Chain A
Amino acid sequence: MNAARTLHWLLLLPSLLLLALLLGLPLAAMLARSLEPNVLLSFTGPALDNYAYLLSRAYYLQVIWRTLRLAAETMLIAIPLGYAAAMLLQGLSGRAGNLAIMGLTFPILAGPLTVVLGWMALLADGGPFLGPLVEAGLIARPRLLGSEAGVVISLVQFVLPFAVLTLYTGLRQIQPPMHEAARSLGAGALSRFWHVTLPLSLPSVLSAGIITFSLAASSFISPHYLGGAGQLTLTTLVSQFIMATFNAELAAAAAGLLLLLMLGSVVALTAAIGRFIRP
């Protein structure tokens, strides 16, 4: 018995070491760095002055608020869209169902850089969708590139496959007998959805919410290319601190804030939706 337990931990050791050495230790070094003085702020470290600085300037508060807002908007749009798709995909079976699911992983594997390249063209004022509409005088120049709307459109597209895959798995685990029971008791389609399917699927809605919010809050490529300098988020702010103003300590503090805000959002989301999940 003891030998089995030793073997168990020996087998887990490499992955735990990988996590500790390549994630835990680097994050600790980064957080330590975020407490140190720098070219902009002089104080005797370790202290929280970098965080206080970021949280006291209207400009950086705007960046923080924009990061959270983009992530929340993306989540709130992607979850209903993904839920409807996941419900409809339950109806497909066999080859068609497999292909549909496989198709969803395809943009994930092609990579966000490739996809955002497409959005840069599609959202441009002279692009294939908006160009003809503008020329025909149907719409004013929409200027989606460099706007928050453009970033949200591409973020929704980026997180949608993750949302559908998560919700699809969750919905499949709801037992058909539950629906049969509700039907035999005379419940209509809407009532079955409201009283049976939706409550039972809430755990996967929560998972999908956490995944879509986290992916959107931590995305770099969409805000960088589609938002630009006028639409900085915490990730693009970090890269600006490193590449443009060479301030490693403020970059570390901005990254620390992002981690903290994401953790807080996950806790808040779990509390908000968790209240409705029956044990």
Chain B
Amino acid sequence: MRGSIRALGRLAGGLYLLLLYLFVMGPLLFVIATSFNPATSFPSRFEGFTLSWYAAILERPEFLAATGTSALVAALAAALAVLVAFLAAYALSRQGGAGGRGAMATLLASPLLVPQVVVSLAILQLASSFGIGTGFWGLVAAHAVYVMPFALRLILTGFARFDFAVEEASRSLGGGPLATWREVTLPLLRPSLVAGFTFCFILSFVNLPLSLFLTGPETATLPIVMFAYIESRIDPMIAAVASLIVLAAATATLLLDRFLRVRLVD
């Protein structure tokens, strides 16, 4: 009797998790399915299987150009974020638990609590108060400040498993401070640095609100071009673009898990 109640409880728990994951993943799975549907309206009944929506992307040069812009912005923002986050994480980790470490980490995470639309507006208005346009670097600035806390979080997790005694050992063997960083510290932290870069790159690449007020015809990012496209019409081609982004994100997620064993949750 007791055993069957427990089995029933486990079944209910499993069912609950299944439904929850279906709810969280459902919209993405539906977008992917739609991208293979030959029907021209969205949403619509499934009428077969086609790859023509993927081929249609190639006929729209603005999507290809925007993919390049997004990749460049994401790479620069992620590189800047990882660089400053690494230096900060080094300082905070070496300090140990003492002396306001928690307060400093909270301060450095503060961009997370500012709405991204507000970050975009604020950078626009700072530039306009100097009478200049925001241009490409305004875009990079907004993305960098927003993704930095994610890099910091991942790199701090990496430092939690780093023993600063190995630096002492390197120095006592005659290694200078720079040689110690190059030969000892950076290699040991490489997994979390690569993970931080990848994570920041993706977050920047898929982000719409940060770019909302900061792009022009020359600097439109992929989400901005998608945004403009959806304003005028919705067809399965946009689902095909979205599916490619999902595919890229999924690949990156699996690579991080498999090769770097980096966890968001420790």
Contacts and interface: CB of A to CB of B under 8 A. Distances in A.
Contacts, number: 236
Contact of B34 (A121, A161, A262): A121
Contacts of B264: 101, 105, 165
A112 B31 CA distance: 12
Contacts of B142: 22
A165 B141 CA distance: 28
Interface residue tally of chain A, by bracket?
35 or more
Contact of B206 (A22, A114, A120, A255): A114
Nearest to A99: B257
B111 A19 contact: yes
Given A103-B21, A168-B265, A110 B245 contact: yes
Describe B's contact surface by its main secondary structure: helix
A238 B28 contact: no
B239 interface: yes
A84 B9 CA distance: 13
Contacts of A225: 230
B207 interface: yes
Contacts of B194: none
Contacts of B80: 18
Interface in A9-59: 9, 11-12, 14-16, 18-19, 22-23, 25-27, 29-30, 32-33
B56 interface: no
A119 B27 contact: yes
Nearest to A22: B145
Contacts of A22: 123, 141-142, 144-145
B257 A128 contact: no
B115 A23 contact: no
Given A18-B80, A101-B265, A258-B118, A113 B28 contact: no
A261 B37 CA distance: 44
Interface residues of B, number: 86
Contacts of A88: 13, 16-17
A111 B249 contact: yes
A122 B123 CA distance: 35
A230 interface: no
Q: Nearest 7 CB-CB pairs, A to B?
A: A118-B27, A111-B206, A218-B115, A26-B122, A11-B91, A121-B43, A15-B88
Interface of A: 7-9, 11-12, 14-16, 18-19, 22-23, 25-27, 29-30, 32-33, 81, 84-85, 88-89, 91, 98, 100-122, 124, 126-128, 154, 157, 160-161, 165, 168-169, 172, 214, 217-218, 220-221, 225, 235, 238-239, 242, 248, 251-252, 255, 258-259, 262, 266
9 contacts: A8-B95, A19-B148, A33-B125, A168-B265, A218-B116, A221-B208, A255-B121, A255-B122, A266-B113
